[in-house]
Amino acid sequence: MSQDKPSPLFPIPVSNLVPNTPEFENTPQITPTGFREYDARWLFPTEINLSGIQALGFGLGNVLHELTDNPSLVVGHDYRSYSQSIKLALITGLMTAGAKVHDIGLALSPTAYFAQYELDVPGVAMVTASHNENGWTGVKMGANRPLTFGPEEMTKLRDIVLNGTGVSRDGGSYVFVPDMAERYMADLTKRSAFKRKIKAVLACGNGTAGVFATKTLSALGIETVDLHCEPDFTFPNHNPNPEDMEMLHSLSAKVKETGADIGFAFDGDGDRCGVVDNQGREIFADKMGVLVARDLAAKHPNAKFVADVKSTGLFMTDPVLNELGAETVYWKTGHSYMKRHTVETGAMAGFEKSGHFFFNQPLGYGYDDGINSAIQVCHLLTNHNKKMSEIINELPKTYQSPTMAPFCKDEEKYKVVEEMIKKVEDLKKQNIKIDNQSITEVLTVNGVRFSLTDGSWGLIRASSNKPSLVVVTESPTSNERKKNIFNFIDKLQESEHIPFFNNCRYIINEFCKNVYHKEFISFMEIN
């Protein structure tokens, strides 16, 4: 094969093809919008076909050659009916580019990340659509463990793939690793078992986590109750999404029915974990993160943590964390951003509101792992020897909105946020008060998060994976103040003419009426 010419095996992709046509069978189809800020996701086969997946693998192989002297990577796939076919098409493209492929078969995303260390391989390509509905596919990629691609790498990949500028290389190879699942679970269970008896309901939404979660936690001495743990790529009950209220409701009912101490919900590729207490109340992941941070800070004084900008203000204001000398910085939402910042700053752990938790050594390797997150929560239960409901009730009360996502076109959303940043910064300079509270801090690392005198805050940012803004508000004072902060944001955006903000008014009004926030909105992972 030529080493200095684009490969004729992969013509330049096109964005619109019709299935069941000769063109569809001979030409790579790739919709450009599938390249996101830190991963890639498409509807299959309407937005990408198998030839397009080949071209994607070819481009990824070329990126690996640019980023590392060792173009080797781990490749795995989730349980969706078409994922194995997509993985094999991806592999042919990778090998054409001269990449060395280590295929670990059916896997969770954290299994693939672990395999990078276990096999001493720098790269990863995990075929998964995570919590998305059937019909979606995607790839989570990285070239430098435990990090995954960010915007710079994704832009490089997109340009190579869409422009057909990849180079064919000799040296591609393939090996199948048959026992990585067992090696991954053995690593998670190598620590001593829990001394306290814990009964946990495990909800897997019929996703891939069902293959791993029960075996792993049972090996640690936890009594497990399975809920939709049989893998079924049709997702007959609900999507495996620990932020989806349908999933949390079924988990809550099972916890109360069985008298379990706790309930865990895992997403489709096992890198996120949701928690329900012994009373069946969901604990939002950012609040769970504060509890885990408390537990870790008690053992490691002056510990450092990272939280995403959507997360509760308690990381800053919690008296227990402050007394223990813990330091938390807020960072960009998105598992790739959070993972990178947690690793590069040497923080003990990172917590994202969507349920991605990142633990550095000695608790983990820096990547997000839902099963490891569940293990750390069980350690918290053991250390406190209290019911989960008692532990969560020890947190200072805050009033937090759901994650609201008013529609805003992809080509407009970042400009809108830039204008919002300017407006908030000007209001701070003018000492304009919000509900009689001064703006004390303006954080612009990811949109604009402004904090008030009493610890209340509001956030406006652009979603990284959907045509929308992201709006969150929280107050330690009252529901009314939380609502008033939203009203302030609402007025702030009026001149920007954002469609469907009215829907957010309905959401915030309804949310304020319900203490436990259970009945009225189905959350998606809005990043």
* pLDDT tens digits, one per residue of 441-460: 999 999 999 999 999 999 99
pTM of the entire structure? 0.91
What φ, ψ does residue 132 adopt, rounded to 5°? -65, 160
| Domains observed in the chain | 22-180 (3.40.120.10), 183-278 (3.40.120.10), 283-393 (3.40.120.10), 399-513 (3.30.310.50)
Angle formed at CA 384 by CA 381 and CA 386, multiple of 5 degrees: 75
The whole-number pLDDT of residue 290 equals 98
How far the first Cα of the chain sits from its last, in Å, is 41
**What is the DSSP code string of 303-366?**
-EEEEETTS-THHHH-HHHHHTT-EEEEE-SSHHHHHHHHHHHT-SEEE-TTS-EEE-TTS-SS
Active-site amino acid positions? 130
Place of tokens 């919000």: 434
**Structure-block tokens of residue 415:** 């400009």
The whole-angstrom separation of Cα 115 and Cα 145 is 10
The whole-number pLDDT of residue 517 equals 38
**Structure-block tokens of residue 340:** 């990178």
3-state secondary structure of 30: strand
Distances, alpha carbon 339 to alpha carbons 107, 227, 331, 360, in Å: 20, 29, 10, 10
**Structure-block tokens of residue 174:** 């393939």
The widest CA-to-CA distance across the chain, in whole angstroms, is 70
The whole-number pLDDT of residue 498 equals 54
The Cβ of residue 490 has, within 10 Å, a number of other Cβ atoms equal to: 17
Residues of the chain with pLDDT under 70: 1-9, 495-527
- Give the HSE-up count for residue 367: Cα atoms under 13 Å, Cβ half-sphere: 24
Distances, alpha carbon 73 to alpha carbons 119, 141, 176, 489, in Å: 9, 9, 12, 45
Query: How does pLDDT run across 180-239, given as a tens digit for each residue?
Result: 999 999 999 998 788 889 999 999 999 999 999 999 999 999 999 999 999 999 999 999
Residues 6+ apart with CB under 8 A from 525: 130, 131, 241, 243, 267, 272, 354
**Structure-block tokens of residue 317:** 């204001």
